[in-house]
Structure 1
């Protein structure tokens, strides 16, 4: 249903047959968000990018979505197997099962005893939490953890106890009050690119006998030895009970993964509702992920490039006065705050050919909406410079100096703006 400035009321009227309680809820969306916050437009729908646009909305950090080896593997599978046997993954068994073999390969890649492939990262997170928590389990969750983890807590009927973002002391205070339970964090946070202090959290979990769950959706493939993730990079594979990841990020596919013990692998497949009541991956998806794993393990240069590209942009944008909210990764957020200001930022960027992803409630807190730039390995030096020049040019137009995030930065005395000189990315790579 496409709703523009003049037909949102007609769209609502088409729902006249709905009971009043539901019609009121739908109407509230169009009144409070479409009309009041978005002035009759849509915060997610700006311009359509042309051929010269830089699209920084994709999570294909390693630039492999069109890799010929991966596409060839998928095409061969489609031609030979079609869509295969459509059934729940709980029925899979046998030494020649491609999905089970791929689970073993992922386990070896991540340095785990076993792994489970799921239909998505959302299914992995909701299924995992639903299968390890219940109404008696306190679940400690970082306030910025992915929504799928919160949904897993709700599905389990467990008590969600939030703690301040990346605040180890606050977590420990919560555990001392409510007792041992499950601690949930992201290794890299999808909203602002900040990194979890995993070592400190692992120590707290061990001291208080808590289960430690780390979502590595935005670090698997981009961090660690051959892309094995931040947990592996820090040598914490034996201290993290479960790692989850969406394979729709650096792996540019459509699936989710959970690392676990062999004993838990069997338990999960017969206990987690998303595992029982959803069909398995299609053969071409399994074949594509198997080829993707080979590319990611082999091509270390892709990780080097995306890290250098992101480092360069973070440095330049910080010098321009943007508050990057602690980003240390390939995710860079420009937090305009209230939704009308984010629409203005989106429009200014898109008018100059820069397309990011708009994040707003419920993906962010109220009045902390933002445009997220997802950096990839194939951005050239000239393209990086173009992004910086655009961000420099629009500061007054989008009133960056008045953004709540900018004011917070200035209150901390953290701005050290100076006249920006173009820098060679190659110099930055050597320095790193």
Structure 2
């Protein structure tokens, strides 16, 4: 009772906010909560039951409960507690565990050096701050992660977007605006599409641009022992910087910047998130060291993940879902308007399938999705259950009339027209050559 009274007193004593703040808050409740979500919340559906399939976790390799990692974390906490809390700029010495871990990650990613950050967000914002300014054009894929856009904004640089995975459009932008920084995700978090890294690397070399690749959704899941797509494609000497959130396949809470040895110290003393954030805690460092052991060793996890993702993409495509070019473990069902996405969410959750909701500003307006994050632990029976549910709900959620479905049908019709026209085009060319 006393706690409740204190809470009510605290609420009643809230400082009154000026109009320029309250107007924004009220607009959210009026336009999104009431008008768009009918008084509910698109992110808050049912509570998963014990038999639910949860496809919202980024723990792609299913290692969050791995006993080796848990034992390493617990041993560190008992031995060192939370350690000495201070900014990372003060770390030095060959026996420093965090610096040793930085060297391990750099070697793992086939990079000369690297920096551990508090998060992938801090890694991206800090990197862009330290390489761009108000005179730098920064070319960014329109679907790149929000942290990369925020890095451009905080650097005061010019953001010049290009169409998703469109190398020709990127080249047009560079020719018009000059050399700068090119930023892409290797695997895009909302669609699972993969960037044409080799073609973009060629373009950056030709036009003297810095190339930055966010490998958050490919580190651990792609490449030799999970070293990422840049390593898999042999582009380590053509990509200047790689960043990654370690909250995905590494199932922890940190970020990493792979860079040159000379840039390593520069970043720590120039990037604001590096200067003004505390170091990782000792048990986090110990946990990541054990996680890296597991991920490097257990290639079977990557193989199972790739197999599961391929099977689910194939079956959902057969059912008529437009997966927007997914080639990875991220599979998105794009219902479109947020009201329709709520219908999709409810239909899935009523049958025990729980994905992640993505809507504006994480997606474009009216292109919201339910995202399935596939993991290595999904059994054949569980995969089949997902397929059966997605089959069963197609009419209920009006899948055939989703904008994404209509786009897929339009593309299919266009390809058919092209195939039908090819013989005529060939004969016309033969006549010209004759």
- The answer for the alignment partner of 2:228 in structure 1 is 229
CA distance in 2 between partners of 1:187 and 1:64 (Å): 22
Q: 1:350-369 alignment to 2 at 5 Å?
A: 350-369=349-368
Residues 414/49 of structure 1: CA separation in 2 closer, same or farther (3 Å cut): farther
Question: 1:15 offset after TM fit, Å?
Answer: 7.3
Residues 302/155 of structure 1: CA separation in 2 closer, same or farther (3 Å cut): same
CA distance in 1 between partners of 2:16 and 2:205 (Å): 55
- The answer for the alignment partner of 1:143 in structure 2 is 142
Residues 1-48 of structure 1, C-alpha deviations (whole Å, 9 max, x = no match): xxxxxxxxxxx9997821111111100000000001100000000000
Residues 414/390 of structure 1: CA separation in 2 closer, same or farther (3 Å cut): farther
Tell me, yes or no, if structure 1 residue 62 matches structure 2 residue 61: yes
Does the 8 Å CA contact 1:103/1:114 hold for their aligned counterparts?
yes
- The answer for the alignment partner of 1:123 in structure 2 is 122
Residues 312-331 of structure 1, C-alpha deviations (whole Å, 9 max, x = no match): 00000000000000000000
- The answer for the alignment partner of 1:200 in structure 2 is 199
Report the secondary structure of 1:239's partner residue: coil
CA distance in 1 between partners of 2:313 and 2:24 (Å): 41
Report the secondary structure of 1:258's partner residue: strand
Residues 230-266 of structure 1, C-alpha deviations (whole Å, 9 max, x = no match): 0000000000000000000000000000000010000
CA distance in 2 between partners of 1:361 and 1:99 (Å): 37
Report the secondary structure of 2:251's partner residue: coil
Report the secondary structure of 2:270's partner residue: coil
Report the secondary structure of 2:89's partner residue: helix
Does the 8 Å CA contact 1:186/1:216 hold for their aligned counterparts?
yes
CA distance in 2 between partners of 1:350 and 1:299 (Å): 32
Residues 16/407 of structure 1: CA separation in 2 closer, same or farther (3 Å cut): farther
Q: 1:73-222 alignment to 2 at 5 Å?
A: 73-222=72-221
Tell me, yes or no, if structure 1 residue 397 matches structure 2 residue 396: yes
Residues 16/262 of structure 1: CA separation in 2 closer, same or farther (3 Å cut): closer
Runs of 4 or more above 3 Å deviation: 12-16
Q: 1:325-364 alignment to 2 at 5 Å?
A: 325-364=324-363
Question: 1:270 offset after TM fit, Å?
Answer: 0.3
Residues 389-421 of structure 1, C-alpha deviations (whole Å, 9 max, x = no match): 0000000000001100001001112799xxxxx
CA distance in 1 between partners of 2:324 and 2:209 (Å): 29
CA distance in 1 between partners of 2:177 and 2:224 (Å): 37
Residues 84/415 of structure 1: CA separation in 2 closer, same or farther (3 Å cut): farther
Residues 262/15 of structure 1: CA separation in 2 closer, same or farther (3 Å cut): same
Question: Structure 2, unaligned stretches of length 5 or more?
Answer: 1-10, 416-434
Residues 109/47 of structure 1: CA separation in 2 closer, same or farther (3 Å cut): same
Tell me, yes or no, if structure 1 residue 29 matches structure 2 residue 28: yes
CA distance in 1 between partners of 2:32 and 2:15 (Å): 20
Residues 44/392 of structure 1: CA separation in 2 closer, same or farther (3 Å cut): same
State TM-score, norm by structure 1.
0.92
Does the 8 Å CA contact 1:117/1:258 hold for their aligned counterparts?
yes
Question: Structure 1, unaligned stretches of length 5 or more?
Answer: 1-11, 417-432
CA distance in 2 between partners of 1:266 and 1:350 (Å): 48
Report the secondary structure of 2:139's partner residue: strand
- The answer for the alignment partner of 2:425 in structure 1 is none
Number of aligned positions between the proteins:
405
State TM-score, norm by structure 2.
0.92
- The answer for the alignment partner of 1:262 in structure 2 is 261
Question: 1:146 offset after TM fit, Å?
Answer: 0.2
Structure of greater Rg: 2
What do you get for the CA RMSD once the two structures are aligned? Answer: 1.4
| Bigger share in helix | 2
Report the secondary structure of 2:333's partner residue: strand
Does the 8 Å CA contact 1:409/1:415 hold for their aligned counterparts?
no
Report the secondary structure of 2:84's partner residue: coil
CA distance in 2 between partners of 1:295 and 1:415 (Å): 47
- The answer for the alignment partner of 2:50 in structure 1 is 51
